[in-house]
Amino acid sequence: MNIESIINALNQVREQKPLVVNITNYVVMNNTANGLLALGASPIMAHSQQEMAEMMSFCGALVINIGTLDSQWIPRMRFAIEQANVNHRPVILDPVGCGASALRTETAREFAQLANQLIIRANASEVIALAGEMSKSKGVDALDSSEAALDAARHLMTTYQANVVISGATDYIVTPSHTISLNNGDAMMPHVTGMGCTLSALTGAFAAVGEMSGAAAAAVLGVAGEIAAEQSQGPGSLQMHLLDALYQLNAETLAARLAMVVTP
């Protein structure tokens, strides 16, 4: 993974406009769809079991986000992952609030086990809770630093044969071959709801064009987020400028700003 491969992945998303199916939480459906459209992908938010087999047959990736989980959505999500497996589609799992309730922790683990081609994207508290360690999580906001979740992420990688993206002040991408750290973004970003969910959605767009590490999405969102924050007086304008920055982002800006370190 280097800057050229990230730029190449971005260009492919914009050329192919991959269809990304999102079974996601009610809170972020609008802004994650807008994030995917601003990036250049084609989002569809769908959850009916009656159409999921069809959708998995022609989509590029499936994003599963458990932010507003309930007993009716769990079987739909399970069925969608099974159909993604049948059709060899990548699955991005966002275990929102993992650790805040037994329901979320158990469901996230079941889904991680089920998906064949998996990227897990979560904040540090969720990664730690998913791995079965004691986290400080009580809610959906991270209370642990992303660095503190690195061992847990490696545990998840081995257990579920997954790449793991820990988002935070520093983002870490944990894969079998290397660990990537990204120091873009801005401290104001956690004051916008669903910023991590947007990262998961963008990860789906990149996975659909074959970028399975999760690094390209984190790089693009981090750079767009810091550009947006420089123009913003608060989280309201940050959300708006972020979509504009995603839409405008080009190779030069990405290369000039990206603060990425790849460790073997």
Nearer to a copy of itself, 64 or 173 (CB): 64
Q: Which stretch binds a copy of itself (CB under 8 A): 38-46, 154-162, 173-181, 208-216?
A: 38-46
Q: Determine if 136 is a binding residue for a copy of itself (CB under 8 A).
A: no
Q: Shortest Cβ distance from residue 210 to a copy of itself (Å)? A: 19
Q: Which stretch binds a copy of itself (CB under 8 A): 41-49, 121-129, 149-157, 214-222?
A: 41-49
User: For residues 59-98, which are near a copy of itself according to CB under 8 A?
Assistant: 59, 67-72, 76, 97
Q: What is the 3-state secondary structure (H, E, C) of the chain?
A: CCHHHHHHHHHHHHHHCCEEEEECCCCCHHHHHHHHHHHCCEEEECCCHHHHHHHHHHCCEEEEECCCCCCCHHHHHHHHHHHHHHCCCCEEEECCCECCEHHHHHHHHHHHHHCCCEEEEEEHHHHHHHCCCCCCCCCCCCCCCCHHHHHHHHHHHHHHCEEEEEECCCEEEECCCCEEEECCCCCCHHHCCCHHHHHHHHHHHHHHCCCCCCHHHHHHHHHHHHHHHHCCCCHHHHHHHHHHHHHHCCHHHHHHHCCEEEEC
Q: Which stretch binds a copy of itself (CB under 8 A): 81-89, 101-109, 118-126, 152-160?
A: 101-109
Q: Determine if 5 is a binding residue for a copy of itself (CB under 8 A).
A: no
Q: Shortest Cβ distance from residue 238 to a copy of itself (Å)? A: 8
In the set 47, 78, 154, 257, which binds a copy of itself (CB under 8 A)?
A: 47
In the set 50, 177, 250, 263, which binds a copy of itself (CB under 8 A)?
A: 50
Q: What is the total count of residues that contact a copy of itself (CB under 8 A)?
A: 65
